[in-house]
């Protein structure tokens, strides 16, 4: 089964509640919140506000993507998320283990993200203890970029290593390339621009899930 997680980074922030309701009704499974601190990535987002608005607007699962340095300090603020994903490039092994433990304590699902240049070998030691791997298909930091094709091979490689782990893909995904990602083994699709810029959001989400 393929699930869809619209990234509200591409939504109209002047009417964020309506935007969230619109993708909720259009069949989204999750709401993807991009949290950027201006350090791990150059860009900064009002991640906490986005998360709070999403929390009070929808019953869909909250999928929080932390693109921040010291992610261990951000977990508790986002503790109503259903899943929290942090970047392996932002932590050492000890911190990664601590974050995983804390998320388990809080009963929040655990995701680890890898940037396009990070090999899947970096996250293999954690697979038994986490719920999801987020394979970035663009450099984190901005919405509306073009998908980096070589990342599709990483999805395939990871799916060969582990049949069951959730593989989320994020960045530059649209109806022209989504099938390649699904065939490679991705089962959670993040999409911002492709969903929010469409006049028929339900059509896009349905097609992505097909």
List, by residue number, the catalytic residues.
34, 170
Shortest gap between Cβ of 187 and ligand DX5 (angstroms)? 17
In the list Zn ion, ligand DX5, none, the entry touching 193 (Cβ below 5 to 8 angstroms by class) is: ligand DX5
> Nearest 5°: phi and psi at 57?
-105, -25
Cα–Cα distance, 171 to 192 (Å, whole number): 8
* Measured distance CA(191)–CA(12) in Å, rounded: 15
Cβ 5 to Zn ion shortest distance, Å: 8
The stretch among 43-51, 52-60, 96-104, 169-177 that binds Zn ion (CB under 5 A) is 169-177
Query: How far apart are the two ends of the chain, measured CA to CA in Å?
Result: 9
Residues with Cβ within 8 Å of 139's Cβ and at least 6 positions away in sequence, in order, are 115, 116, 145, 148, 171
Q: Which of 28, 50, 65, 141 binds Zn ion (CB under 5 A)?
A: 65
In the bound state with ligand DX5, the residue whose beta carbon lies nearer, of 32 and 159, is 32
Residue 172 as a binder of ligand DX5 (CB under 6 A): the answer is yes
Q: Does 3 bind Zn ion (CB under 5 A)?
A: no
Beta bridge partners of 169: 135, 189
Nearest by Cα to 72 from 41, 93, 42: 93
Interaction between residue 143 and ligand DX5 (CB under 6 A):
yes
Where do contacts with ligand DX5 occur on this chain (CB under 6 A)?
A: 7, 9-10, 32, 34, 65, 138, 140-145, 170-173, 190-194
């Amino acid at each position: 089964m393929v699930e869809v997680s619209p990234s509200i980074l591409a939504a109209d922030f002047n009417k964020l509640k309506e935007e969230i309701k619109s993708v909720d009704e259009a069949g989204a499974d999750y709401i993807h919140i991009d949290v950027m601190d201006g350090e791990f990535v150059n860009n900064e987002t009002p991640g906490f506000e986005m998360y709070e608005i999403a929390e009070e607007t929808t019953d869909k699962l909250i999928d929080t993507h932390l693109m921040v340095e010291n992610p261990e300090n951000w977990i508790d603020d986002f503790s109503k998320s259903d899943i929290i994903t942090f970047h392996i490039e932002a932590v050492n092994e000890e911190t990664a283990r601590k974050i995983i433990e804390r998320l388990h304590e809080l009963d929040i699902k655990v995701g680890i993200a890898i940037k396009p240049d990070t090999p899947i070998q970096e996250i293999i030691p954690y697979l038994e203890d986490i719920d999801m791997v987020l394979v970035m298909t663009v450099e984190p930091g901005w919405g509306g970029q073009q998908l980096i094709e070589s990342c599709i091979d990483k999805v395939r490689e990871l799916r060969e290593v582990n049949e069951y782990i959730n593989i989320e893909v994020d960045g530059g995904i649209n109806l022209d390339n989504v099938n390649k990602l699904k065939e490679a083994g991705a089962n959670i699709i993040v999409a911002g621009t492709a969903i929010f810029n469409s006049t028929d959001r339900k059509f896009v989400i349905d097609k992505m899930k097909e």
